[in-house]
Structure 1
Amino acid sequence: MKKKTLVPLIIFLLGICLVGFIVYKTDTHEKNERHITAQLNATTYGERIKNEIASGIEITDALKQILISENGEINQFDTIAENLMSASIESVQLAPDGVVTDIYPAEGNEAGKIDLIHDKDRGEISGYARDNHTVITQGPFELKQGDYGIAVRNPVYLTDTNKQEYFWGFTIVILRVPDIFSDSIYALSNFGYEYRISKTASPWSDTYKVIYQSDGSLTQPVSYDFKIGAENWRFEIPPQSGWRNNTLIAVVTGFFLAVILLLTVLTRVWLVSKENKNRFQILAHTDSLTDIYNRYGFDEAAEKIIAQNPKTHFVAALFDIDDFKFINDVYGHAYGDRALKSLADNMKAFFPPDVLLGRNGGDEFCILLPDCTLEKADAKLNQFTRLPKTFSYKGTEHHFSISLGYAEYPAFASNHSQLMRCADAALYEIKLHGKNGCMAYRKGLQSGVRKQLGFALKDVSEHLPGAFIIYRADKEDDELFYANQEFLHMTGYKDMGELFRLTNKSFHNLIREDEQKQIEASIWEQIDSGNENDYIHFHLRKADGSYLSVLDHGRIVESQQYGKVFYVLFMDWKDMHIHYGDKFSR
């Protein structure tokens, strides 16, 4: 019982650790992906914002070029400025000698006519732009019309008659905030990002001042830095939902906790998602249990590939599971299916993708090795035959073996059908020689009709006139494997499940308690002395807790799967006295 409790617990804990590791790796990967995507967006839209501000600077450059070409004069300023205006421009201005004299539109902007060089708020930065021949931006500052603005001042220099450069003044554009960034920040909001646009307070400062930002908080944002004139700008964005994808983490955790169920569903979804035209064709050619070719699909594919390459050598192999009916009868057909699927998985893992794999039906499988001869195939097929093969039953791995026969085209056959008959003859031969082996076809082997070799446990148990059980011959740890219907009927157990449950799968618990030591000692004394288990009389525990007086006769044999096992036949002591009377007593 401890083993049955501990093993599932260990598997559960290891599974939790594995899920935790997968979730951690998924979370880390998702964070990295989000950072990469955010950085790309910050770079893309940062450049777009830079270009949007640069479009305002281009207006000042256009005015600057007119002033240079017209020697400091601009005729019809209002007309030119009107043509340069856009929805994100508040006003266009001229400031000869640093004093704003012309503003378009003039209405509502009269207060803007100031001496920039000597203004206490604008003088220092304007003087810097003049002295360093650089464009400067200043702001944001509140506009009388509402919202905020950024001033772009572009210094203009002309040449006098002595070809000496002198400062003419500034061409100026007032940009509306956030109108100038509206396209970029609207797109980022739709993409689920918070944002912040900042610039250095002045060209000589390292302190950043926020120009515009979203309402939400910015947690560990990525940034993109760019330069406009002599000032540094910074554009920062983080996802509104944060860097962690909680939904993905929940999905990944749920997926791996229910992986078996989801795998079944995904397989079903995969089959259903195929195009209708191909879906039925696949079903017609594929074995649903093992997901390899069925007999029809294998034969069709094999005939096609041989017909397309008639001069190429091929090796075909047929094999089946030794004593497969024993697996079905003892463990049930569901576990027989597990053995078949396990064998198919071994085939897919062992052979390369260009090898045709198929299930003929029942427990018989087939293989076609292209561009191969008997000499090349011998080592590989022998290796596959010897490869350990198991299926799981209630947490325990049970081993089984196969028998395999193979033949070569065109050495022994002129077509696919004849090739498979030769392989079948070799398989029949290996069965006659004790199973669990591999044999190549040779001339003289008879293919004929292969009959079932030996007797199935089910056939024996149904028709044997007597009650019997099979259990492991171990002094310390015996284990019940099987009981036939006659035994279950005699002892009142509904089925083997109830027998195993009430006896804890132990023959020891079938013996009346006061007789256990004596009876087991008697059995092993006979075995250890070299004699077969003779007739032994004891009281056998029935399903209702009462005891039945029986006579048993056992035989110990070697089993390939379980080692030494007892086959024990039981007779009702009372019935024997009734039927045989004095003859039995003698």
Structure 2
Amino acid sequence: MLMQGPIALHDGGNGLVMRMPIFLGSEIAGQQQKNFWGFAIVVMRLPDVFAHTVANLQQTPYHYRLEKNEFGNEAEENYRTLIQSEQSVESPEVYDFTYGGCQWRMSVSPKEGWQPSPLTKKFGLLGLVCVMLFTSVVYFVLYLRERQEGLRELAVTDNLTGLLNRHALEQAAKDLLTREDPHYVVFVQLDIDDFKYINDLFSHQIGDEALRHLSTIMRVFFLHTAILGRSGGDEFIIVLHGDELSRLERMVKDFSSLRKEFYYGQQVYHYTISMGYAAMMPGMPKASDGKDIPSILHAADVALYNVKLLGKNGCCRYEKGMAEMKKVQLGFSLCDVAIHLPAAILIYEAESEKILFANSELISMFGCEDLEDFLRYTNQNFRGVVHPDDYEKVEESIWRQIFMNRLKGCADDAVNYRIITKQGKIVWVIDRGRLVNSEYYGKIFYVVLITDDEMNEEK
């Protein structure tokens, strides 16, 4: 441990700085080793840190002065005063001691002048210094130990959720697998579906609240039967263990089916999760989905993406062959498909008619360079898509069809109208739309525009 200062603090006054190195234990090749992690640093304001000492000294019949020099410099002119009595110390007795890699000097003199014998003075001074030193050292050590324990906890936990971080979880799982009694271990990978939309639509604050809520219900549901961790972003890991694999699988499925919602700012938000899991039986490779922690986590991750492919909001166990399917199918996201599909696709809000999405085919149909150019040309509104002379008629036709079709159990419409390209060309199109209720956007129209060749030929 090393003490530095006093130093000037940003908010005024002076302070002392204490540094202590922190070493975290780890096991490498069966050998316990200590690895340097960082420093615990405590800044203590002067004279507050000596408040107890000052209170004790003021009750004694002595004037006092405590001085300290910098580490590695014992020159007389380098001593600086940390605390002292209101009255100056005259003809003091001086006691030097070492603490925190620095030299300290305590000077005292009687308020009424020296009267006792030199021997008595020295014993009295020694006792006074011991009291002062003991009080300060105990305060320093206890405070530093508290901060050090806090830093140790910070090194292995996720700051937002309080769950274990990825490194600490894998270490805990490794310890679990070394147990001698036979048992199944299930590794679960999960994340929040469409988490980016939650952040984009409701704010990152709501997204953080969703992460905290998920971590809370994980603790409540699994109690002390699981190792819980957050591996990053909206991704979490659960490690379960027990004698019956079927019971562990049932726990995973039951947690997946829980309704997940939370209140924030007098508003209810709900979300869904996808879960993929893989099982491991230590010592029985044929009954395991992986041979070690990295491979079993990879298997669970493949199962998670299989759930995503099947529509999200569910769970499944890893099966052989999923890895190949993942490589082939996950290369095509829904966004890629929508952008490159050989059909003009338009998505807009039903009430405000604000355009939310337009794919490459639609942008090309209007003769625009890119999406930004298209949104600027149409003023990001469905009204800007339709020819001004046709807009009122189109609106009336769409809503009349939706009203009539709802009686049949659908909300589709079909209408013909003209569009004007950016180059001024008038083109007839067929609009096939459907009104849907989106969880995130409310009521929106999904529309496919097809060039009406017959009408364009007549023109």
What is the TM-score when the length of structure 1 is the normalising length? Answer: 0.38
What is the TM-score when the length of structure 2 is the normalising length? Answer: 0.47
* Structure with more helix by fraction: 1
* Structure with more strand by fraction: 2
